[in-house]
């Protein structure tokens, strides 16, 4: 019996590639991802679908609907990232989503602590107060949970003699440039939110529309998180293992384009920063879409089922009746 199990595991590891760690996904990791799916979908419903009702239904009042919709669209991309991660069987395919969530939630915790006075903890309608307390609890817990998961699962990688679906050079360069731009913009927005407590400083004027400090930091946190994810994707270098990150990246760019189109009256078409922003989002959709389309062709054969693995070793497997 033990030898059969060993052969199944060996077949799974061989099919996953010589560089795939033989570490499964722990229950705590899946619990964290499920929690993030639920929380991100809740934020999507509050911000992307009802951006004009933040005073009544969200943790703090976001004055501009375009800002609320931007943050909601980013949460939608985060939900996609976590949902796809839940379908994976090995830690190496979940590492990037968990680290991306960890970076975002850690930065958002810092922004929340700095601007706690902006949260509707004691004023506003009961739904707003409930949302504010939920926000505070979530961002006091989730960042530590993320890095506890990384610590338990480990950052171990086996040497990789070759990727199953190597990332093309042009795509690596494109994602690298995008990651650098997203990170730089995110850092400027985040620091701009640190510098002031009431109005966005001139450091954030490159953004296509005006941002208040807490919103600027949350937007910056999302940009930095996706910038870090871009760097991790390049480090991974194997599109066959990047279905989730690629799809989430494309969703992020596509939804942000739709938000900009929906709230086009909030920006000036004569502003060159607007067109630079549009160009960046289009390139994000291109890079993410290409990566997802390429990766999905290999995802189905990455790890076979136990029955398939036993067949590959010549063992007899009972077929279902009926």
pTM of the model: 0.82
Q: Is the pLDDT of residue 155 over 80?
A: no
pLDDT beyond 60 at 300: no
Which residue, 201, 196, 218, 99, is CA-closest to 147? 99
Residue 317 lies in a domain: no
- Is the pLDDT assigned to residue 30 strictly greater than 70? yes
Decide if 316 is inside a domain: no
| Angstrom distances, CA of residue 159 to CA of 156, 162, 163 | 10, 9, 11
Residue 82 burial (CB count, 10 A): 26
Return the structure tokens found at 41.
Answer: 């979908």
Q: How far apart are CA 322 and CA 319, in angstroms?
A: 9
Residue 37, pLDDT score: 95
What is the rounded distance in angstroms from the CA atom of residue 88 to the CA atom of residue 283? Answer: 27
Tell me the HSE value of 79 on the side-chain side, using a 13 A CA sphere: 17
Asked, for residue 310, whether it belongs to a domain, the answer is: no
Alpha-carbon distance values, 192 to 50, 112, 195, 201, 211 (Å)? 27, 14, 5, 6, 10
Residue 4 domain flag:
no
- Domain residue limits at 176: 15-154+164-304
Q: Output Rg (C-alpha) for the chain, integer angstroms.
A: 21
Whether the per-residue pLDDT at 195 is higher than 90: the answer is no
CA 288 – CA 295 distance, rounded (Å): 10
Tell me the sheet residues that pair with 90.
Answer: 24
| Tens of pLDDT, residues 40-58 | 999 999 999 999 999 999 9
Provide the pLDDT confidence category of residue 198 given band limits of 50, 70 and 90.
low
Stronger pLDDT, 24 or 52, i.e. the higher one? 52
Structural domains in the chain (count): 1
Instruction: Round to whole Å and give the CA distance between 106 and 100.
Output: 10
Q: What is the mean pLDDT of residues 294-314?
A: 52
pLDDT for position 308: 45
Residue 40 falls inside a structural domain: yes
Mean of the per-residue pLDDT values for the chain?
Answer: 83
Q: Note the pLDDT of residue 140.
A: 96
d(CA 191, CA 203): 8
Query: Can you tell me the mean pLDDT for 301-318?
Result: 45
Task: Inform me whether the pLDDT recorded for 19 exceeds 50.
Answer: no
In a domain, 242, yes or no: yes
Are 317 and 8 in contact, with CB atoms under 8 Å apart?
A: no
Least confident of 59-63, 133-137, 314-318: 314-318
Domain membership flag for residue 284 = yes
| 214-271 pLDDT, tens digit each | 999 999 999 999 999 999 999 888 887 788 899 999 999 999 999 999 999 999 888 8
Closest alpha carbon to 150 in 95, 228, 86: 95
- Looking at residue 92, its pLDDT comes to 82
Lowest mean pLDDT among 13-22, 89-98, 240-249, 289-298: 13-22
Q: What is the dihedral of CA 256, 192, 132, 144, to 10 degrees?
A: 90
d(CA 190, CA 161): 39
What's the distance, CA 322 to chain centroid? 43
What pLDDT, on a 0 to 100 scale, did the predictor assign at position 193?
86
């Amino acid at each position: 019996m033990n030898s059969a199990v060993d052969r199944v595991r060996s077949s799974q590891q061989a099919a996953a590639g010589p560089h795939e760690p033989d570490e499964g996904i722990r229950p705590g990791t899946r619990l964290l991802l499920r929690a993030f799916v639920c929380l991100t979908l809740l934020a999507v419903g509050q911000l992307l679908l009802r951006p004009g009702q933040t005073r009544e239904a969200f943790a703090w009042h976001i004055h501009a609907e375009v800002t609320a919709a931007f943050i909601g669209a980013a949460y939608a991309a985060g939900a996609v990232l976590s949902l796809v991660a839940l379908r994976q069987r090995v830690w190496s395919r979940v590492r990037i989503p968990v680290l991306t969530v960890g970076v975002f939630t850690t930065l958002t915790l810092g922004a929340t602590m700095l601007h706690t006075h902006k949260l509707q903890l004691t004023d506003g309608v009961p739904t707003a107060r409930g949302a504010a307390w939920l926000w505070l609890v979530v961002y006091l817990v989730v960042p530590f949970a993320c890095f506890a998961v990384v610590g338990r699962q480990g950052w171990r990688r086996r040497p990789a003699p070759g990727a199953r679906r190597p990332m093309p050079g042009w795509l690596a360069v494109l994602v690298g440039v995008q990651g650098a731009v997203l990170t730089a913009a995110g850092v400027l927005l985040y620091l701009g939110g640190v510098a002031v407590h009431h109005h966005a400083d001139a450091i954030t004027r490159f953004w296509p529309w005006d941002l208040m400090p807490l919103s600027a930091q949350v937007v910056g946190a999302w940009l930095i998180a996706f910038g870090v994810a871009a760097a991790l994707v390049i480090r991974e270098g194997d599109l066959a293992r990047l279905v989730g990150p690629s799809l989430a990246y494309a969703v992020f760019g596509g939804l942000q384009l739709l938000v900009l189109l929906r709230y086009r009256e909030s920006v000036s078409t004569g502003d060159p920063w607007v067109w630079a922003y549009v160009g960046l989002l289009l390139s994000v959709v291109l890079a993410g879409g290409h990566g997802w389309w390429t990766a999905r062709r290999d995802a189905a054969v990455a790890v076979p089922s136990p029955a398939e693995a036993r067949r590959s070793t010549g063992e007899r497997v009972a077929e279902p009746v009926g």
